[in-house]
Amino acid sequence: MRATVMYGAHDVRVDVVPDARIVEPTDALVRVTRACICGSDLWPYNSMPPTETGNRMGHEFIGVVESVGPDVRTVKKGDLVVAPFAWSDGTCEFCRQGLQTSCLHGGWWGGTRLDGGQGEAVRVPLADGTLVALPVGPDHALMPSLLTLTDVMGTGHHAALRANVRPGTVAAVVGDGAVGLCGVIAARRLGAGQIIMLGRHADRIALARRFGATDVVSERGDAAIERVRELTGGLGAHSVLECVGHGESMRTAVGIARAGGAVGRVGVPQEAAIPDAQPTFYRNITIAGGPAPVRAYMHELMPDVLEGRIEPGLVFDCVTNIDGVPDGYRAMNDREAIKVMIEF
C-alpha cells in the first residue's frame, strides 16, 4: 500500500510500505477514505533531523472497516468510522474520566512502528476504545466537517472548555489556523458574548467572522494586547484560547487575559517554560490545556455537525489526493492553504 513518510525537514514522500494488517485481536483494519494534514505536522516538517527510515505521518482520518480482530465488539466490517488523533482503550481510569489522550494503554499514530492516517490503510489498535462509527456514507456532503472531529474541532472545543468559556463572557482566540478557527466555533457554541480573533490573513479573518468572531485584532505583541484591552473596557478577556504554541503567542495570551481569567492552551508548546509566570501569578490567571481528548468530544459535537449547527469543515480550502500530499505540506507551511484534505 502507499503511505506518507517524512524523512526529515521539508522531505515528505509517498512510499510503498508493507500492507496494514490485523496483529492483535483488538485491532481493526481500516481503509482510509479521507485524511488531512495538521498544523502540528508542520513542526517536524520544519525541524525533523534527516533519518534513513522516516516517520509515517497523519493522525486525522475517516475510513471503512475492512476487517476486525476476534475481540472487537463495537465496529464491524463495512462500517464507516472516524478515528481520534490518539488511540485509547476506552476502559482505563483516564479514559473513563474522558481524558483519552492520557490512556494508560493508548498511544499516537504513525512514527516508526504504527501506520499513520496519511496512507491508504491503517491498523487501528484497541479499536473498540478508539473508533466511532458514523451514521452516514463515505461521500456524504458533511464529510469535511466530520473529518474535523478527528482533531481540530475537538481541539478548539478543548481550548474553549479549558479557558472556561461561559455564556455571555468575553473570549479571545490567539492563532488563526484551523484550530483557532474551530476555537471560534467552540466559543460561540458555548455562548461567549464577544469573540475576539487575533489574526492577520484576510481569508482566515473572513472565516473567523463567519464562524462568529465579533472583533478582529491584527496587531502583534504589545500592540495586540493594547488593542484587546481597548475592546474589553480595559480589562481583558475572561477566556483566552491559545492555539499556536510559540512563546510569543503564549505571552500575548497571558497579556490579554483579565484578572481571574483562564488561558486554554492547545498549541503544542515549542518552549520548555510557560512565559510570564509573575503576571500570571499576580493576576490569578489559570493556565490549563493539553492534547485534547477528542474521542470524548465526538459524541457531543457530532450531532451539531450532522444537524448543520456548526460547519467546521469550511477550514479545508484545499483538496488533494495521496500524490499531492508533499505539496500539501508545502502549501500549508507557506500559508497558501489553511488546511489540506486528502481524498483516497
Question: What is the spatial distance between Cα 341 and Cα 312, in angstroms, rounded to a whole number?
Answer: 13
Q: Determine if 231 is a binding residue for Zn ion (CB under 5 A).
A: no
In the complex with Zn ion, which residue's Cβ is closer, 109 or 211?
109
* Local structure of 123: helix, strand or coil: strand
Query: CA-CA distance, 284 to 83, in Å (whole number)?
Result: 37
CA angle 80–86–91, rounded 5-degree value: 85
Residue with Cβ nearer Zn ion (124 or 179): 124
Judged by CB under 5 A, the chain residues 71 through 90 that form the site for Zn ion are 88-89
Closer residue to Zn ion, CB minimum distance, 89 or 176: 89
Residues in binding contact with Zn ion, number by CB under 5 A: 5
Determine the Cα–Cα distance for residues 132 and 11; give it in Å rounded to an integer: 33
Closest CB 94 distance from Zn ion, rounded Å: 5
Coil, strand or helix at 20: coil
Q: Can you read off the three cell numbers belonging to residue 203?
A: 481569508
Q: How far is the CB of 96 from Zn ion (least distance, A)?
A: 8
Q: Select 95 or 198, whichever has its Cβ closest to Zn ion.
A: 95
Site residues for Zn ion, 88-127, by CB under 5 A, read: 88-89, 92, 95, 103
Q: How far is CA 241 from CA 14, 33, 93, 250, 333, in A?
A: 35, 31, 27, 10, 22
* Closer residue to Zn ion (CB): 104 or 277: 104
State the nearest-atom distance from the C-beta of 126 to Zn ion, in Å.
8
The smaller minimum CB distance to Zn ion, of residues 32 and 99, is found at 99
Q: How far is the CB of 95 from Zn ion (least distance, A)?
A: 3
- Cell 472497516 locates to 65
Q: Is 315 in the site for Zn ion (CB under 5 A)?
A: no
CB of 161 to Zn ion, least distance (A): 20
Between the alpha carbon of residue 191 and those of residues 72, 280, 302, the distances in Å are 39, 25, 18
Least Å from the CB of residue 97 to Zn ion: 10
CB atoms closer than 10 angstroms to residue 274: 16
By CB under 5 A, name the binding residues for Zn ion: 88-89, 92, 95, 103
